[in-house]
Amino acid sequence: MKLTVLGCYAATPRTFTNPTSQVLEINNEVFLIDCGEGTQVELRRHKIKFGKIKHVFISHLHGDHFYGLIGLISTFMLLNRKTELHIYGPKGIKEIVLLQLKYANSWTGYPLYFHELSSTGPQVILNTRKVTVETIPLKHRIYANGYLFREKPKPRKLLMEEVEKYNIDVAYYKGIKKGKDAVLEDGRIIPNVELTEDPEPPESYAFCSDTSYTPSLAEQLENVTVLYHESTFLEEHAYLAAPTGHSTAREAAAIARAAKVSHLVLGHYSTRYESIEAFKKEANEVFDSVHLADDGKVLRFE
């Protein structure tokens, strides 16, 4: 699992920081999560191929999370994209995008599909051969969702020495990897456990963008491999968090601890702070495995 952080700061962009956007690569699937200003420039900078992006997930309709979307859609058109593009986001995103395309007379030459969200509970919105994606209802000033990406269980690994010892035809490999026993020509049954070993456990990634501290999230996030949770403020400014629909680093860590996740990634820092190291220090008082997102940072998890 690989996470490329294109931008992870709150509010307005600066010459050296970008608003929220990131690319998640999991089991060879590529997903764009949020699309703040400058996203397509950062995609170029990090040599992420535009054509690999087929699904874009927008958490909510505050500008620092989606104002880069229309530019990216338009660039796809200029590049003669033919592959369909799916946009997931709050109700209203379709109207916003189509209005801009209408008055620019710049309709896409590729299929553009909108999946508008309004559910206040978790909802599975994508189910591919390798990955499922479900919404994480968040508590912000406007309707907002995070997204939970779960890798589907991988097939069992063949123990080739054992398989070849019994001279099993390759035509049966697929079934064996799915857990079936092998039946030899002489009628003997070879238990699957003798022919395979357990695969690597499925990985999962939870993206919790702008949200006030919501302890109930821990139930849905239980045992997630990696949790990205916003940490706009430090505790010294905790009085600003709830009224603005945001969290502190300590609160993000409390969610991670309660959910028993493996790793916590902090982001969406207020630009009032000169250094982000204090966010890690504060979170580490509550939870051990804390990582700092930062623009251009690539995080790999195994």
Residue 91 structure tokens = 């109700």
Tokens coding 241: 């968090």
Which 8-state DSSP code applies to residue 261?
-
Length of the chain: 302
To 5 degrees, how large is the angle CA 252–CA 253–CA 259? 95
Q: Which of 64, 169, 181, 186 is an active site residue? A: 64
Give the number of other CB atoms < 10 A from CB of residue 44: 11
Nearest-10 Cα torsion for 290, 293, 299, 302: 30
Q: Are 190 and 180 in contact (CB under 8 A)?
A: no
Active site residue 64: yes
The number of helix segments (H) and strand segments (E) in the chain equals 10, 18
Neighbour order of strands in the sheet with 2-7: 112-117, 85-90, 55-57, 29-35, 21-26, 2-7, 298-300
Instruction: Decide: residue 170, CB within 10 A, 0-12 exposed, 13-18 middle, 19+ buried.
Output: exposed
**Rounded Cα–Cα distance for residues 190 and 205 (Å):** 37
Which are the catalytic amino acids? 64
